[in-house]
Amino acid sequence: MPSTRETAQKYIDFVAALKFAEAFKMLASDAKYRIIGKTPLSKTYSRADLLNVLVPALAEFKQPPTLTFEELIVEGNRAVALASGHGISPAGLPYDQPHLCDDLADRKRCHH
């Protein structure tokens, strides 16, 4: 069984490579994923909504949001990833937003 750090790093690697579907499939089926801010995509998603709503919406971006991960904090079976995302929205507007993904190993929560 992979360690918490290995699981969290795999999730981070998928997101950094713009493999959003692969990353979101790692989350538990009852996970809640929250995008904070004031963008049209800012809301709380279920895992199913991530795959059926958010992933297709991200594909519409003129420049898909790329995340730069600044720090991965692991303690026991809990991991927190601090990142910032930058891209160009479908409307041509800049997308610049801080991101926080926590409980990556337990696969329970993510906040963006």
pLDDT tens digits for range 74-90? 888 878 788 878 899 99
Of the pLDDT bands very low, low, confident and very high (cuts 50, 70, 90), residue 63 is very high
Instruction: List alpha helices for the chain, DSSP H.
Output: 4-16, 20-25, 47-49, 55-59
What is the rounded average pLDDT for all residues in the chain? 82
The torsion region of residue 103 among left (phi > 0), alpha (psi -120 to 50) and beta comes to left
Of 81, 99, 98, the residue nearest 5 (C-alpha) = 81
Each residue's pLDDT tens digit, 27-62: 778 777 777 777 788 888 888 999 999 999 989 999
Evaluate if residue 22 carries a pLDDT over 90: yes
Task: Write down all domains in the chain, each with its CATH number in brackets.
Answer: 4-111 (3.10.450.50)
Note the pTM of the prediction, 2 decimals: 0.75
